[in-house]
Amino acid sequence: MSVYFLAAAALAGFYMAWNIGANDSANSMASAVGAKAITFKQAIIIAGVVEFLGAYLVGSHVTQTIRKGVISPSGFASPVVFAYALFAAVLGAAVWVFIATWKELPVSTTHSIVGAIVGVGIVSGGTSSVEWGKVVSIVLSWIISPVGAGLCAFFLFRLINKHFIIPEDRDGKTRKYFPVFIFVTFFIIGLSFLLKTPFGKRLHLGFPASLIFAVGFSFLLTAVISLIMLKTLGNFHPENVFRILQIMTSCYVAFAHGSNDVANAIGPLAGIFSVYKTGLLPHTAEIPDFILILGGLGISLGIFTWGYKVIKTVGYSITELTNTRGFAIDFYTATVVLLCSKLGLPVSTTHAAVGAILGIGFARGLDAVDLRVVKNIVYAWVLTLPASALLSSAIFIIVKGGN
């Protein structure tokens, strides 16, 4: 394998990271922008910085080169052919995510890379080389993620609306009970950070210890922030209080996304780099810091340049958002991703975020949701696996045929 191919692979990995930033920034920031908790410009800056920090500081230093065990590296004729397959997979997935972002549609970048790997696996080893049970579990996530988050957000918003928006003494109730929401918010953030991110896995705390740590962490921060808000926040209107909570959850989702999904871009690149160094087939690959930085920079650049496109669709086009609605969306996007991951169920952050927004929209009636936009998003979700598979398989045939 030549150094020129390695350079081309680095560019493909960076291009995939750029597309991840451009498309997935909507997962964390769209509801905050739609609810006017922050401006477009603020969202782009916050997401770009926080996602980079997540990718570099707690992004996994060891990654599976074949995502989710969809195919085995042993099914390829040689380590070099395997490297070609990884290159084709990351480039094919990147092209599909680019098309989706260009059309302003949110898609799962994880599903894109998995579909791409399925494509190169079929071309290289036939349909028998693919673990179709894994593919079925991914298809199930199209239902599990949006329906779970949508139902939860629906009921949370109805609860907030009934007890904090409609009553005449809503400001007094909000002042009295807002520490409960702060505690629960930080509890979910803390537990998600310990159980969902690569950094949390490296701590090896286990669920009971993580639970205790999250409770203590949440109590401490709740006490500090509650005191600050009581002294500085003159108006305890629900929208003012939930605006602050929504910004917190949006930043968390951005940080966790950077730490987790950066592997969709740099995992294949790390596998190619491992083949270049050792000449062997890797099942896992060490990720040098410069590759993590490359992935983090790519995600941030994608957010800065094209992040507004999908944020516009998710934040404005599906349904009208407020701070209380946006908090319910972000809170249950994070919660459903945490619970499903802990239970071993397939989950997509993109699908959960869109599902939560739909749940909030339907809580206000069917007319509050733009079903035309929803239909286009669902079409994009269904097309993600086959489109990525076709693109990557075509690229693989071209690259392999030329070497």
**Looking at residue 131, what is its pLDDT?**
82
Residue 256 has pLDDT above 90, yes or no: no
pLDDT average, residue stretch 220-234: 89
The pLDDT of residue 106 is 92
- Tell me the per-residue pLDDT of 297-318, one tens digit each, with 9 for 90 and over: 998 999 999 988 999 898 888 8
The two tokens of residue 252 are 């968390």
The pLDDT, as a whole number, for residue 64 is: 64
pLDDT at 102: 95
Res 9: pLDDT: 94
Mean pLDDT of the chain: 85
Does residue 17 carry a pLDDT above 90? yes
Q: Give yes or no for residue 61 having a pLDDT over 80.
A: no
**Is residue 346 scored above 70 in pLDDT?**
no
pLDDT at 197: 63
Task: Give the mean model confidence (pLDDT) for residues 215-236.
Answer: 89
Q: What is the pLDDT of residue 120?
A: 92
- The end-to-end CA distance of the chain, in Å, is 10
Give the angle 54-58-64 at the CA atoms, nearest 5°.
Answer: 110
Best-predicted range by mean pLDDT (194-203, 227-236, 393-402): 393-402
How does pLDDT run across 106-119, given as a tens digit for each residue? 998 888 998 999 99
pLDDT of residue 145: 81
Largest CA distance in the chain: 73
Measured distance CA(195)–CA(180) in Å, rounded: 22
Backbone angles phi, psi at 236, to 5 degrees: -100, 40
Report which residue type is found at 287: I
Confidence band for 219, pLDDT divided at 50, 70 and 90: very high
Q: Please answer whether residues 283 and 73 qualify as being in contact, where contact means their C-beta atoms are separated by less than 8 angstroms.
A: yes
The reported pLDDT for the residue numbered 362 is 87
Q: How far is CA 207 from CA 55, 98, 130, 204, 342, in A?
A: 24, 38, 33, 9, 9
Predicted TM-score (pTM) of this structure:
0.86
195 or 221, which is more confident? 221
State the Cα torsion 252-254-259-260 to the nearest 10°: 100
d(CA 215, CA 202): 20
Q: Which whole number is the average pLDDT over 61-68?
A: 60
Task: Indicate the pLDDT class of residue 63, thresholds 50, 70 and 90.
Answer: low
pLDDT digits (tens, 9 = 90+) for 142-158: 788 888 888 888 888 88
What pLDDT score does 67 carry? Answer: 56
Q: For residue range 194-214, what is the model confidence (pLDDT) as tens digits?
A: 776 666 777 777 888 888 998
